[in-house]
């Protein structure tokens, strides 16, 4: 069930991971952990992902939704310098711990970085994650000690994960031969960044590939501002995830519909991304534009009508990490 070959996407919004069978996602939020004075016997939080905690270097951290609920100062770091951010290592080790049924587990990992930062941070990130890590991870309320060995790690431009997911089969072999002859643009809308790459016969075209700060956090800032203005309440970005998903906000026990607020924010962000794409690509020279990422799925109804050859990839939130895993399979096979 648990493979040693793993794709991990340490996103600014969510951590996604995939081992060929199991998709796992949790918010990229970390907070200082502490002993909880009472564990309710009737709690409805039953998934291991609802009570994630990690001990690393003698310090305890709450991770994901548990950090949001229980930490005094939960944080979703948006620092572009991922190798210098302690949360990057903690989030990655948490993901690896979830795929470690044994006390000691070896991994070959493929992950990604925003397109503009692959040259600057590829080696520092590799140095941060590679090697042996001793942790304790809380699953179902109990701590389990683990030794995580990251024996091999490959870091690629994030949107190429979607390309490999489309082009490769589950053995890492080229399946879609048609894709090898196409010029394809990939627009990957994440939480912090929007990444744009062009592939010409599966080759990365550097001059047509770039990143911008037009991630979903830009829409979240608009939504938070409009909520503050209308309801006189402040919401952190990690508190908005469920609000945006449900399109409602609960105030004093009453649900208020905010679909109009969300639509306005998404429309404005999509218009900005359209302008950025127009300045980077002539879409008529591309055989297809593939829209991917959780943000791509959220903005699809606003972006796709603006381009004749744009399509939303299936399972957009996990498309990159599944491609990471397929590339890891390809590399291991070779």
Q: What is the pLDDT of residues 219-260, one digit of tens each?
A: 999 999 999 999 999 999 999 999 999 999 999 999 999 999
Rg (alpha carbons) of the chain, rounded to whole number: 20
- Residue 9: both structure tokens together: 């996407």
Dihedral of the alpha carbons of 190, 297, 157, 242, in degrees to the nearest 10: 30
- Phi/psi of residue 42, each to 5°? -110, 15
| Predicted pLDDT at 177 | 81
What does the pLDDT look like over 135-166, one tens digit per residue?
A: 999 977 788 999 999 999 999 999 999 999 99
Quick one: which of 129, 135, 139 has its CA closest to 147? 135
Question: Is 71 within 8 Å of 32 (Cβ atoms)?
Answer: yes
Indicate the helix (H) or strand (E) that contains 300. Answer: helix 294-303
C-alpha 115: how far from its chain's center? 14
What separation in angstroms does the CA of 275 have from each of 185, 272, 303? 15, 5, 11
Handedness of CA 311, 314, 315, 321 (dihedral sign): negative
Domains and CATH numbers, the chain: 5-157 (3.30.420.40), 178-318 (3.30.420.40)
Question: Is 317 within 8 Å of 294 (Cβ atoms)?
Answer: yes
Please state, for a pLDDT cut of 90, what percent of the chain lies above it: 84
Please state, in angstroms and rounded to a whole number, the distance separating the CA atoms of residues 303 and 286: 16
Confidence of residue 1 (pLDDT cuts 50, 70, 90): very low
Mean pLDDT rounded to a whole number for the chain? 93
- Range name among 98-112, 269-283, 320-334 with the lowest pLDDT average: 320-334
Pairing of strands 59-63, 30-32: antiparallel
Is the pLDDT at 125 greater than 50? The verdict is yes
């Amino acid at each position: 069930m648990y493979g040693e070959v793993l794709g991990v996407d340490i996103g600014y919004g969510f951590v996604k991971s995939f081992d060929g069978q199991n998709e796992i996602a949790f918010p990229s939020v970390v907070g200082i952990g502490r002993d909880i004075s009472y564990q309710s016997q009737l709690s409805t939080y039953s998934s291991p992902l609802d009570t994630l905690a990690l001990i690393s270097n003698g310090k305890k951290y709450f991770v994901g939704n548990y950090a949001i609920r229980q930490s005094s100062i939960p944080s979703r770091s948006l620092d572009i310098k991922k190798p210098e951010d302690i949360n990057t290592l903690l989030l990655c080790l948490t993901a690896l711990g979830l795929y470690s049924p044994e006390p000691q587990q070896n991994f070959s990992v493929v992950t990604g970085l925003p397109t503009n930062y692959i040259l600057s941070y590829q080696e520092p990130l590799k140095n941060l994650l590679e090697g042996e890590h001793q942790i304790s991870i809380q699953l179902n309320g109990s701590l389990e000690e683990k030794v995580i060995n990251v024996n091999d790690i490959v870091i690629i431009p994030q949107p190429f994960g979607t390309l490999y997911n489309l082009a490769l089969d589950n053995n890492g072999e080229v399946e879609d031969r048609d894709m090898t002859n196409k010029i394809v643009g990939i627009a990957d809308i994440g939480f912090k960044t929007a990444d744009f790459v062009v592939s010409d016969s599966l080759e990365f075209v550097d001059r047509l590939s770039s990143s911008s700060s037009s991630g979903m956090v830009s829409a979240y800032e608009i939504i938070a501002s409009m909520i503050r203005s209308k309801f006189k309440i402040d919401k952190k970005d990690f508190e908005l995830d469920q609000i945006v998903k449900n399109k409602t906000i609960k105030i004093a026990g009453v649900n208020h519909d905010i679909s109009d607020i969300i639509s306005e924010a998404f429309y404005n962000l999509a218009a900005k991304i359209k302008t950025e794409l127009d300045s980077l690509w002539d879409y008529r020279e591309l055989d297809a534009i593939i829209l991917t990422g959780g943000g791509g799925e959220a903005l699809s109804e606003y972006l796709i009508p603006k381009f004749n050859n744009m399509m939303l990839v299936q399972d957009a939130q996990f498309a990159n990490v599944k491609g990471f895993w397929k590339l890891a399979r390809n590399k291991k096979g070779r």
